Homo-oligomer: A and B are copies of this chain.
Amino acid sequence: MTDKAVVPTRATIGVIAEEAGVSVPTVSKVLNGRPDVSAQTRERVETVLARHSYRRRSRGPARSGPPLIDLCFHELGTEWGLEIIQGVERAASDLGVGVVLTELGGKHRPEQEWLDAVLARRPLGVLLVMSSLSAAQRHQLESRSIPFVVIDTEGEPPKDVPTVGSNNWNGGFAATQHLLELGHRRIGMISGPDDVLCSRARVDGYRSAHAEAGVPYDPQLVRWGNFDAGKGYVHGRDLMMLPDRPTAVFAGSDVQALGVMRAARELELRIPEDLSVVGYDNLPLTEWLGITTIEQPLRAMARTATQMLVALARGEEPPLRRVDLATRLVTRETTAAPLA
């Protein structure tokens, strides 16, 4: 933790222009995300901006009307995304701020194209959901003094990037402990991708709950996937067809639990008599379906991140740059003691 990254050098736009071998208006165009600069020139200017850790003095929004923030999802997916949107939307509304929503969604919008639009739009700030910026992109925002906050985290974010997540380790621990206490000894777990931090934390929680209870766990029962229903179905089916099948499955998300439950139905396994299922997220639909799950406070996470972002945009330093909200077990009808 040195001060080096925090105190920007005081290079002027003239110095940047000279070093990059371009005119001052050209540097200005690059800073404003204008499209009428060649890719090559742009790259040269960005490199010099990065070298100097250049930061433009904030000039406020470029538009008329109430200020905007940008909310960017890698993929909107399920009700999960809707919970985040509602949390952001309501907090932004309370703060008198509008929300521009973007889904990068694979081929639909290249990240750089989106980022250029953001630079040109000059929002108060940017909220990123389960998506991350390259170091270069991060610097592009920083050099324009556009703050950003990450909601949930795909990977390990650099220390000084403000993030709001939830306590995934506790979630994994609580779900597994619940199943162990019910008497389950072979517990399947389907997590997200193994390079995503929250998936790994949950698997660690699963392992620790076993260790705490003095129950060995079978690594064969832990699967990495993603958070979709499809993976829940495939891995769930696979787990249930093992010779010594698990009597319970802890899924990586509520929609993934739907996939597990579908696989169970096809194999004529009753829930919870033959198979206990725990979801993750506590989406509204789980209440109606009676799914036992881990509550992840998505709306509160979104609200916290929005407030943090607006504070940063106002030049305030948030008390914490890394906030994890608590998760908790919600017991419903898909979990029970295993049949003897």
Residue A248 interfacial (CB < 8 Å): no
**Contact of A99 (CB < 8 Å), options: B89, B101, B259:** B101
Set of chain B residues within 8 Å of A121, measured between Cβ atoms: 63-66, 98
**Residue interface bits A255-293, CB-to-B below 8 A is 1, else 0:** 100110110010000000000000000001101111000
Question: Is the CB of A211 closer than 8 A to any CB of chain B?
Answer: no
**Most chain B beta-carbon contacts within 10 A, residue among A63, A108, A259:** A63
Contact call A108/B79, Cβ cutoff below 8 A: no
Residue pair B89, A122 in contact (C-beta under 8 Å):
no
Closest to A229 in B: B288
Q: Are A288 and B255 in contact (CB under 8 A)?
A: yes
Tell me which residues across on chain B come within 8 A of A85, comparing CB atoms.
76, 85, 101
- Smallest Cβ-Cβ distance to A257: which chain B residue: B288
Report Cα–Cα, A108/B299, bound state, in Å: 15
The reply to whether A65 and B108 contact each other, CB–CB distance below 8 Å, is no
Q: Quick check: B288 and A100 within 8 Å, CB to CB?
A: no
Residues of B within 8 A of A89 (CB): 76, 101-103, 105
B100 touches A99 (CB 8 A): yes
CB closest residue in chain B, given A256: B288
A90 contacts across to B, CB distance below 8 A: 103, 105, 108
Flag whether A233 is at the interface (Cβ < 8 A): yes
For residue A262, which residues in chain B have a CB less than 8 angstroms away from its CB? 288-290
* A78 interface residue per 8 A CB criterion: yes
8 examples of A-B residue contacts, CB within 8 angstroms: A62-B64, A63-B121, A78-B79, A78-B82, A89-B105, A233-B288, A261-B288, A262-B288
Seen from chain A, the residues whose Cβ lies within 8 Å of a Cβ on chain B are: 32-33, 62-66, 68, 71, 76, 78-79, 81-82, 85-86, 89-90, 93-94, 98-103, 105, 108-109, 117-122, 229, 233, 255, 258-259, 261-262, 265, 284-285, 287-290
Closest 4 CB pairs of A and B: A63-B63, A65-B120, A65-B121, A258-B288
